[in-house]
Structure 1
Amino acid sequence: MKQNLFNVIALLATSTLVGINNPANATPSNYQKSCNNISVFGNVLSANCSRTNGSFNKTSIVLRGIENINGTFKVTDPGKVSNYQFTCQNIRIRGNDLKAACKSRNGTLKWTSTVLQGIENINGVLKYSSSP
């Protein structure tokens, strides 16, 4: 009986952890509603974001989990720093839509995009509020 109870607890704990890191559970980013001058350089997102007192703060965040897989952006491991910038060029951001021309296995460039997930403006600072 104790072993069965332990197995159930372990299964629930594992399911909970998987859910936390599952990109499908991420909330859409909303920083673009209260930030301006949004830009991206490599895997760093920067913006001027409003504070609760109405002033603006220059802030940045390292993007997580985004990789170039055969010319397509994929969110693979939200715990890791994004590495797409090593095989992609013309990287740009519009709102929370990240776009780039990325190399495929055969070396050709392919345009790809992904909607950034889980990034919020918290009193003038870009932060992840959920997994990307």
Structure 2
Amino acid sequence: MEDFADFISKIDHPIHRARTEEVLNWVHRQFPILQTKVAWNQPMFTDHDTFIIGFSVAKPHLAVAPEKAGIQRFSADIVQAGYDHTKELVRIPWGSEVDFDLLERMIAFNIEDKAGCTTFWRK
């Protein structure tokens, strides 16, 4: 997780910093096969050099980016969890609990769906 240390240290709000660190550590523990990197100023997890999931911090929320296919696949579950989403990301308000089950399913879906992918992003 040292790849993310600099990113985390730059989050000014202590609650946002702690939540972000909690989520990133959780992903790392649950999916130790994934590689970590920061690109486009976002901590992300990859598998065989293909993007699996990324995160970013905004004033009102933690943004989770599982790519468009992940949003489409889990749209109803995202709404049921009480989160807002766009075509490319899920917004988890800082005051909301993280639905780790949903996060786990999104990551597992991307790992399986992109097993044969040879590009960073889906085409």
Same fold at TM > 0.5: no
Rg (Cα) greater in structure: 1
Which gives a bigger RCO, structure 1 or 2 (Cα 8 Å, sep 6+)?
1
Q: TM-score range by the shorter chain?
A: under 0.3
Greater share of residues in helix: 2
**TM-score (ref. length: structure 2):** 0.28
Greater share of residues in strand: 1
**TM-score (ref. length: structure 1):** 0.27
